């Protein structure tokens, strides 16, 4: 399973559950924009590592499920935010790490993810539930279960490199991403 396969599944399951999706900067945000692009999607263009806490701050003030998708590079940079995200998240909060072992957006330099057990870190940081999945059906099942629980779930998913050209940059100024998202949240 590659990034595009995973993000298509995540976006579809989140939409079915009436949830919001936040994607970390880089190719993950670009893929979310290209493969879903609903107003309930928030694509980060910068602030690497801050996606979980951003989403957790939002989750405190919505009754809907909130899903985070970030890569292993973002995850490793943002480990200090894991306890804060787990503590701040309210209701259904699902945090998915797509782990390709690379900083693919910057040219494929390796990360330290192969030395790190992110599931154990997430559990230690206070996530109520954790899951490690590999196949599309396992991801779907883990998401459906997590999206039905009023608590925090961390999901680790090793991914293959994604073939073909990356998706283009998010075709909206960040202020438009925020305005559109804010309006969608206010309508709900």
Partner 1 sequence: MSQTQETALECALVEAIAAQGITFFTGVADSGFKRLITELEASELDRRYVLATREDNAVALATGAQLAGQRPLVFMESSGFGNILDALTSLAIVYDIPLVLFIAWAGYQGRDVPHHNSIGEPLEDILRALDVETVRVGLEDPPEAIAGAIGTALRAAERRSRPAAVLGIPANLRREGDA
Rounded to an integer, what distance in angstroms lies between the CA atom of residue 34 and that of residue 168?
Answer: 8
Is residue 112 involved in binding partner 1 (CB under 8 A)? no
User: Do β-strands 109-110 and 102-103 pair in parallel, antiparallel, or remain unpaired?
Assistant: antiparallel
Is residue 49 involved in binding partner 1 (CB under 8 A)? yes
* Neighbour count for residue 140 (Cβ, 10 Å): 15
Q: How far is the CB of 117 from partner 1 (least distance, A)?
A: 20
Nearer to partner 1, 39 or 158 (CB): 39
User: Which parts of 67-96 interact with partner 1 (CB under 8 A)?
Assistant: 80-81, 83-85, 87-88, 90
CA 63 from centroid of its chain's CA atoms: 18
Instruction: Please answer whether residues 84 and 56 qualify as being in contact, where contact means their C-beta atoms are separated by less than 8 angstroms.
Output: yes
Q: How far is the CB of 66 from partner 1 (least distance, A)?
A: 9
Q: How far is the CB of 47 from partner 1 (least distance, A)?
A: 4
Is residue 110 involved in binding partner 1 (CB under 8 A)? no
Q: How far is the CB of 111 from partner 1 (least distance, A)?
A: 19
Please count the residues of this chain forming the interface with partner 1, following the rule CB under 8 A. 37
DSSP secondary structure of 58-114: HHTT-SS-EEEEEEHHHHHHTTTHHHHHHHH--SSEEEEEEE-SEEGGGT-EE-SGG
The phi and psi torsions of 85 (rounded to 5 degrees) equal -65, -45
Nearer to partner 1, 148 or 178 (CB): 178
Q: What angle do CA 18, 184, 53 make, to 5 degrees?
A: 75
Is residue 143 involved in binding partner 1 (CB under 8 A)? no
Is residue 149 involved in binding partner 1 (CB under 8 A)? no
Q: Using CB under 8 A, list all residues that contact partner 1.
A: 42, 44-51, 53-62, 80-81, 83-85, 87-88, 90, 173-175, 177-179, 181-182, 185-186
């Amino acid at each position: 399973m590659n990034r595009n396969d995973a993000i298509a599944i995540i976006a579809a399951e989140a939409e079915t559950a009436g949830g919001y999706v936040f994607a970390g900067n880089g190719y993950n945000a670009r893929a979310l924009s290209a493969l879903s692009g609903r107003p309930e999607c928030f694509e980060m263009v910068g602030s690497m590592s801050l996606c979980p806490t951003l989403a957790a701050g939002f989750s405190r003030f919505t009754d809907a499920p909130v899903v985070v998708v970030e890569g292993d590079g973002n995850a490793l940079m943002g480990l200090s935010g894991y306890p804060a995200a787990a503590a701040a998240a309210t209701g259904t909060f699902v945090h998915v790490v797509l782990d390709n072992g690379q900083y693919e957006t910057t040219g494929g330099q390796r990360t330290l993810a192969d030395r790190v057990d992110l599931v154990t870190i997430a559990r230690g940081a206070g996530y109520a539930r954790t899951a490690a999945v590999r196949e599309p059906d396992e991801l779907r099942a883990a998401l459906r279960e997590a999206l039905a629980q009023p608590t925090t779930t961390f999901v680790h998913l090793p991914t293959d490199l994604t073939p073909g050209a990356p998706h283009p940059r998010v075709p909206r100024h960040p202020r438009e991403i925020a305005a559109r998202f804010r309006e969608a949240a206010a309508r709900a």
